[in-house]
Amino acid sequence: MSVTNFPPVRAPGKRQQAFYILAGQALADESKWKSFDFSEAFTARYGRPVVYWSHWNRLMSTPYRTELVPRFRGTFNEVLDNMNFLSFCQAVDQKAVHMKGRVLGRLEMEGLYAQFLIKKFDEVGSATYRMRVILKKSMEKVS
């Protein structure tokens, strides 16, 4: 899953919303909207895993080496039952040291973890509301 699969839509930013509310004006003029938000197709599939689309964009566009991704077997729910962000980081660090590569920094590790979770989430055919809530709680530890 990449950002290009579900492009963002224009939306009013939080400050812009507050300004219009305080001024008593409507937010109807889409040409003045300055921020991006998740599309309806995205929220139907994934919910809102992070608060801001810009955070999501950062997580999903973080480059990484695919050979550093640990091979956690199992479904999305099984993986999350047996793994958290810290254990994922330890597994990636061990693999990087074993391959004589550099250890990833915090931002790279967050991006790798988020992309790993989305890949596991996508392996599940249909997403239920419960699974979207689990995905959101898992992402809260990252963003």
> How many structural domains is the chain composed of?
1
Would 2 be classed as within a structural domain?
no
> Counting every residue, how long is the chain?
143
Predicted pLDDT of residue 92: 92
Predicted pLDDT of residue 143: 57
Range of the domain at 96: 9-140
Would 83 be classed as within a structural domain?
yes
Would 4 be classed as within a structural domain?
no
Would 18 be classed as within a structural domain?
yes
Predicted pLDDT of residue 109: 92
Predicted pLDDT of residue 8: 83
Indicate the burial class of 13 (C-beta count within 10 angstroms; 0-12, 13-18, 19 or more): middle
Find out whether 43 and 136 touch, Cβ atoms under 8 Å: no
Q: Which residue has the tokens 């919303």?
A: 17
> What residue type is 136 in one-letter code?
K
Predicted pLDDT of residue 112: 92
Predicted pLDDT of residue 76: 85
Q: Which residue has the tokens 């080496």?
A: 65
Would 98 be classed as within a structural domain?
yes
Predicted pLDDT of residue 80: 84
Would 81 be classed as within a structural domain?
yes
Written as tens digits, the pLDDT of the chain (143 aa) is: 556 678 888 776 666 667 666 777 766 666 667 678 888 888 888 888 888 888 898 999 888 888 888 888 888 888 888 888 999 999 999 999 988 888 888 899 999 999 998 888 888 867 676 777 788 888 876 75
Predicted pLDDT of residue 70: 84
Would 3 be classed as within a structural domain?
no
Would 48 be classed as within a structural domain?
yes
Reduced to 3 states (helix: H, G, I; strand: E, B; else coil), residue 114 is helix
